Amino acid sequence: MNSKEKWEWGFTLSAIILLALVAATTFPYIFQVGGVPAPHLTNDAPVIQVHLIQRQYVFQVEEEGPKGNSSYYNLILTYPSYLLNLTATSIDVTGNLYFPYYSGQVIDVQIVPGTQAYAVILPPSVPGPYVFLNGEYDGPWFPYQVAVILELPSSGYFTLSDVSRYYEQTQQARAGALVGDPYNPPVILCNSTFEPRIYLSADQYGILNFTVPAPTLVVKEGANVSLVLFFPFPTSDSNYLRTYVNGRPEVVNNATLGIYGVSGGTLKQVASVELRYGVPIILNFTAVYPAYVYGIYYPIHTNYSPGNTSSPVIGEDFGLVTGAWGIIMVEGG
């Protein structure tokens, strides 16, 4: 081997060695995604442990919080100053937790079968609902899989100051960065009366007022609230309220519209009615909890398989889906 060839092979070998070093040293980390930043673990902030399980179109949440252990769909409950120490896993589907908090940082974590994903989410400074979504498929415009981090007040109800600040920052964001964004829901203030009657209507995709989650409502403590919801008959395969059974399309008739009080880390059903189409559906309740979840909160199994054509070979599209649900904040005093 002459001098020229020595240079050639020496250079090539050095490249191989460098790449081998990278592969070997990063190998232990291929079984996990993300990581918990050390400074967050060393401070004294209280921590809520959250286990996020990715399902096909929903997040299943298991929480160990200050008010006990709880399970939710598409919902994480937290309180001011608490850190969310999040572990995300999936058994069979690929997903992503994307939290583009519009006045803070972006959390972007892949959820992949066979790996553990970690993230720490800092609490937003103003209590209220904040959305995150599955960013794996088509970014923020994938319509249904949107979830909420609901930051409740430390105790009692949302104060007037909490509501004002939340409303102001949401309005500001929607006027600028979030123009056209269907995922940070608008806020509807209904706190000027103790007898609010609120009308919301679903669109061709089965979502309320063109937004997922549905609009955030603000009512007064002790108010007697009437929520009037309207769902048109689903005619499109794009609507999750239309599914395929034995290869033929059917509308979903066994879904429940409910009002669920958020208390002590659990959801307590305070009103419910079966979903009907083409007629107004009225849900009445008295606002005694600090917050409520309303609408079709519990996901519906939907399956797209015209003529029973879906199969593991050519592709399948089924899973638990919900879109017509939202948060009610209750203002105290």
Partner 1 sequence: MANQVAFWIFGHAVVYMLWLPAVSALYLLIPTLAGKPLYSDKLGRISALLYLVFSNVVPIHHLYMVNLPVYMKFVQEILTYGVVIPSMMTFFNLWATAKEAKFSWNVVSAFTVTAFAGAIAAGVTGISNATISFDAIVHNTMWVVGHFHAMILLSIVPAAMAVVYFMIPMLTGRNWYSKGAAWFHFWGYLLGSVILVVGMDQLGLGGLLRRSEIFPRTYYFVSAEVEVTVGMLLAQAATLAWLLNLLSTLVKGRRIELAPLDLGQTIQVIGVSLSGALPTLTSPVLRRAISRGYGMGVLGALIAALSFFFLAKMGDGYGDFIWIWLLLFITGVFLMALPILRDSKGV
Q: Tell me the C-alpha distance between 259 and 273, whole Å.
A: 9
251 binds partner 1 (CB under 8 A): no
How many Cβ atoms from other residues are within 10 Å of residue 321's Cβ? 23
Of 51, 53, 64, 108, which lies in the binding site for partner 1, with binding defined by CB under 8 A?
108
User: Do β-strands 116-121 and 146-151 pair in parallel, antiparallel, or remain unpaired?
Assistant: unpaired
CA angle 117, 315, 242 (to 5 degrees): 95
State the DSSP H helix or E strand holding residue 40, giving kind and residue range, or none if neither.
helix 38-42
Residue type, 190: C
Stretch that binds partner 1, among 172-180, 200-208, 231-239, 249-257 (CB under 8 A): 172-180
Binding mask 186-225 for partner 1 (x = CB under 8 A): ----------------------------------------
Structure tokens given for 288: 């005694």
Question: Considering just the CA atoms, what is the radius of gyration of the chain in Å?
Answer: 23
For partner 1, which residue of 46, 139, 222, 333 counts as binding (CB under 8 A)?
Answer: 139
**Structure-block tokens of residue 59:** 């997040």
C-alpha atoms less than 13 angstroms from C-alpha of 144 in its C-beta half-sphere:
24
Strand pairing class (59-65; 68-73): antiparallel
By CB under 8 A, the residues from 75 to 94 that bind partner 1 are 90, 92-94
Judged by CB under 8 A, which of 82, 102, 166, 297 binds partner 1?
A: 102
Residue 106 binds partner 1 (CB under 8 A): yes
Over the window 313 to 332, marking each residue x when it contacts partner 1 by CB under 8 A and - when it does not, the resulting string is: x-x-----------------
**Alpha-carbon span 205 to 143, nearest angstrom:** 9
Query: Is residue 30 a contact point for partner 1 (CB under 8 A)?
Result: yes
Buried/exposed 157-166: b ≥16 CB within 10 Å, e otherwise? bbeeebbebb
Residue appearing with tokens 């079966």: 274
Interface with partner 1, residue 240, by CB under 8 A:
no
- Taking the complex as a whole, the smallest distance from the CB of residue 34 to partner 1 amounts, in Å, to 7
Using CB under 8 A as the binding criterion, the count of chain residues that bind partner 1 stands at 56
The token pair that represents 210 in the structure block: 């063109």
Scanning 131-139, 185-193, 203-211, 241-249 for contacts with partner 1 by CB under 8 A, the matching segment is 131-139
152 contacts 126 by C-beta, under 8 angstroms: no
Instruction: For partner 1, give the closer residue by CB, 122 or 251.
Output: 122
According to CB under 8 A, which one of 6, 17, 23, 250 is a site residue for partner 1?
23
Q: By CB under 8 A, name the one of 3, 42, 155, 176 that touches partner 1.
A: 176
Residues in contact with partner 1 by CB under 8 A are 4-5, 7-8, 11-12, 15-16, 19, 22-23, 26-27, 29-34, 37, 90, 92-94, 96, 98, 100-108, 110, 112-115, 135-136, 138-141, 173, 176-178, 180-181, 183, 312-313, 315
